[in-house]
Structure 1
Amino acid sequence: MSSTGAPAPNSTEWHDYLAENIGGTELIVIWTFTGLALIFASARWYVRGWMQHKLWSDDYLIAISVATGITACALTSVSVAKGVGRHVEALTNEQRVTATLWVYAAYCPSVLSFGMPKLAVIALLVRLLIPGRIHFWVLWTMGALVQLALIGVVASAMGLLFGRCRPIHYALDRENVARCLDTVTWMHYCLFAASFSAFVDFYLAAYPSIVLYSLQMSRRKKVILSVALGLGAV
């Protein structure tokens, strides 16, 4: 929902402006990538579960991640149906409040869908590369901390909005939400959480390459395995 660059009301461009809607494009993008993730995950589960008759902890973590992604897409679809993707001026105040409520509902599973795959990658790397005791705890501690950081993004927003907004419906009103939420501080925290998440991704991508480099195997195998495990981390 946006009001940036709005033409003058009742001008020749006004009706076209009100009719603009990018919600459909948003849905195509998120459902496409979520569908691809589901296809690849299903292929993995088929090989592991049906052919090898063995599912590991990373397979279950991937299932949770895919489930959160699908949930986020479903809730986002509802928010688009309620008006997300259209300009603010095209919605009534009640429609704005309803659309914002569904955006909040989609926020939590959306954020979790970014964090859960990291735990799956850590479980895979621990099983394949067998790190030392200290490094084992370093990996899992990083995974836990990044989950807490991402959950904190959602918890802080919900707590500040619904805990401080009086009357509470201001939390769902785009024009009044700034009264409840210190957006500058919150954005700084979001930047920290995103940076930490990116650092963990980089670490999980680089770690297999460092370990494989010291093993006695051909350079071709090292490159192939490093790329495969590195892409899995990303």
Structure 2
Amino acid sequence: MGRFLHDKDRRAPILNVVNWFLLVVAVLSVLTRLGTKLWMFHRFTSDDYLIMVSLLFAIGGSVSMSVAVHNGYGDHVGVIDALHWEAIQKAQYAGFLVFTSSLYFSKLSLSVFIRNLTPVSRDHFHATILQILLTIWAVVALFGSAFQCQASRPWDTSGTCIDLNAWQYYFCASNIVTDIFIIVQALVLISRIQASFKKKAVFATIFLSRILVILPSIAQLVLIHDVANSPDRSF
């Protein structure tokens, strides 16, 4: 098994392992959250249903990655024929759309959860503004990704396309900004809680853990140029 995973000419096995491992972590995290909510409150709320939808899209993203790997993603581009390369591109195209949808519902779920923590109308107004911004972000991201290349072959990045590098920079940067907005939403709410500084710090730490979600986006932002200009884009 170790030799299989460390084959220098194939990254497909490790991609599959990481892909399904992350999905299992996501499923267990959501199930734990839902189980805890059901045990404590005996019902689900709107943010729970949103995270369920996010998880369904995440499952779709993992399936898309698995399809891409099955067709040769993770192998050197020189050993992949045209038919399999097209299948990889289609899987990546579909995968990015469901990934974006999963991100949107995950962000929306957290924002709704934060909104539900307070009855203050001003906080609800701010939350509504943020949720509108998140929806606009998602619509732009999905529309731009769906029509990134010519309409007859939108998955074919070797055809006539928009500036894909610039688009990826925009997507990653806006993804980071929306996460920061959600963190700010939580911190503003916490600052108004009638509690000791220590308790506020504990609550803030919980929501500041969202920064861990931002780190992969920053890494993606840094690597966009190298990935786009790689002569071996499937490896």
Q: TM-score range by the shorter chain?
A: 0.7 to 0.9
Match of 2:3 in 1: none
Select the structure with the greater relative contact order (CA < 8 A; seq sep ≥ 6). 2
Task: Tell me which residue corresponds to 2:206.
Answer: 228
TM normalised by structure 1 equals 0.76
Change (3 A) 1:153 1:52: closer
Q: Are the equivalent residues in 1 in contact too, given 2:64–2:95 (CA < 8 A)?
A: yes
Alignment partners' CA distance in 2, 1:162 and 1:182: 9
**Alpha-carbon separation, structure 1, partners of 2:129 and 2:84:** 43
Name structure 1 gaps, 5 residues minimum.
1-17
Q: What percent of counterpart residues are identical?
A: 18
Q: Which residue of 2 aligns with 1:117?
A: 106
Task: Give the Å deviation of 1:85.
Answer: 1.2
Q: Which residue is 1:99 aligned to?
A: 88
- Contact 1:41 1:62 (C-alpha < 8 Å) held by counterparts: yes
Taking the aligned partners of 2:124 and 2:165, their CA distance within structure 1 comes to: 32
Which whole-Å CA distance do the structure 1 matches of 2:105 and 2:124 have between them?
18
State the alpha-carbon separation in 2 of the partners of residues 160 and 114 from structure 1: 19
How far does residue 121 in structure 1 lie from its aligned partner after superposition? Answer: 1.0
Cα offset, 1:55, TM superposition: 0.6
Q: Which amino acid aligns with 1:144?
A: I
For the 8 Å contact 1:150–1:193, the answer to whether it is kept is: no
Offset, 1:99: 1.8
* Higher mean C-alpha displacement, 75-84 vs 30-39: 30-39
Larger of the two Rg values belongs to structure: 1
Query: Does structure 1 retain, via aligned residues, the 8 Å contact 2:111–2:131?
Result: yes
Work out whether residues 116 and 147 of structure 1, in 8 Å CA contact, stay in contact via their aligned partners in 2: no
SS in 2 for 1:128: coil
CA RMSD of superposed structures (Å): 2.5
Aligned to 1:149, which of 125, 137, 162?
137
Distance 1:216 1:153, change over 3 A: closer
Amino acid at match of 2:20: W
